[in-house]
Structure 1
């Protein structure tokens, strides 16, 4: 049974989601303040966090930043519908994905299962040897990656995106494919989630000698991981 933590000050909404998620087989804990929720999130007891950006005591983005210093806990962000600025800030701060408010319980469950499915550890015999391309090595079964021989700290979604690019190193991967494989959902119109995550990955990889990125944007087509052997 996957353990879900919800941090949101909307009591009626969290009661609704808690009841529905429990009916779907999840164990659900709710915190109505950011400070209490942050302590719970750092406890290591949960498999996924649902976090509202607007909280009465601590900004959701501050919670994201603090969590990402010490935890790889998958985070699904609640964002006001149409509020692109908060959404982008949340993704830049380390959220794996977002769901707009208001949303249906069914949509929330679908997003949760997509994230959990892609953050589960693979069995050792699926890919015991690391996937290697250039300076990058990825151990899919351990959900671990290294760059230039050093551990690469990635969120669950960043790991999925980079792994997908690595599997197709030197080839263009469309945003549609990246969204389906890394986020577990179809690419929505005007959705910038992939772009924001890619920006974060680029910063972590640094630049090539000539100053260019190891991940190239191919306008109108997608992204390409430079195959540097």
Structure 2
């Protein structure tokens, strides 16, 4: 089933679209502002087939969300706007949106646009690998679990798993603190924010990576962190 994340501050519109799309065999998750959008996006980014962004939101705007999504994912984006201004549509498309629909619109029109994007992008054939193996450990992205070489589960919190998956997806890349904080929390770290340090220390502890020469997550002084283990990904 294709999974769609919709953010719109109008409850009636959210409910209408969810009901209509679920009747057409889509799985739909809703958000009402930027903060709740990032919570849901971070939780389900690996399984999303489409994101629908309302331009006007109480705590941010769809353009900012579009930029944030594009920094992490190539998932298709449809933007909704009550404005008839052509400049808004151009800005959205330049920021990485795949389509634009003006309000008011019918659910039937939106469904047609969704189907067209899925046909064009071939989402059904682009399922990401389920398993990732590194250093004797295996991560299952469907079950959201990790086991060691003899099958013993590695206890991870939701945020631990999220950070680990992001590292795996960007293995070998130097990732700075702001990128990692946005990936796990939906916002940058403040100058005195030690949240990321605690998370990384906890991950290192779980994978016996706490020595002076860590094998898994290495610190790059003045630049950030790098996931140093080799990763083999597969569907089975």
Secondary structure class of the residue paired with 1:21: helix
Contact preservation (8 Å) 1:81, 1:102: no
1:30 shift after superposition: 0.5
Partner of 2:116: 114
Partner of 2:10: 10
Change (3 A) 1:37 1:82: same
Partner of 1:83: 85
Partner of 1:63: 65
1:44 shift after superposition: 2.1
1:40 shift after superposition: 2.2
Secondary structure class of the residue paired with 2:59: coil
> Which region of structure 1 is more displaced relative to structure 2, 75-84 or 59-68?
75-84
Partner of 1:31: 31
Mapped partners of 2:47, 2:124: distance in 1: 20
Computing the radius of gyration over CA atoms, which structure comes out larger, 1 or 2? 2
Matches within 5 A, 1:206-221: none
Partner of 2:41: 41
Change (3 A) 1:44 1:104: same
Partner of 2:173: none
Contact preservation (8 Å) 2:49, 2:123: no
Deviations 1:153-212 (A, max 9, x none): xxxxxxxxxxxxxxxxxxxxxxxxxxxxxxxxxxxxxxxxxxxxxxxxxxxxxxxxxxxx
- TM normalised by structure 2 equals 0.50
Gaps of 5+ in 2: 127-236
Contact preservation (8 Å) 1:51, 1:60: yes
1:32 shift after superposition: 0.4
Secondary structure class of the residue paired with 1:47: strand
Gaps of 5+ in 1: 125-229
Change (3 A) 1:17 1:123: closer
Change (3 A) 1:23 1:123: closer
Secondary structure class of the residue paired with 1:44: helix
Mapped partners of 1:40, 1:5: distance in 2: 8
Partner of 2:205: none
Secondary structure class of the residue paired with 1:99: strand
1:67 shift after superposition: 1.1
Deviations 1:26-66 (A, max 9, x none): 11111001122123224323110011011111111111111
Mapped partners of 2:24, 2:124: distance in 1: 23
1:88 shift after superposition: 1.3
Change (3 A) 1:121 1:13: closer
Secondary structure class of the residue paired with 1:4: strand
Secondary structure class of the residue paired with 2:48: coil
Q: 2:103 aligns with which of 101, 116, 128?
A: 101
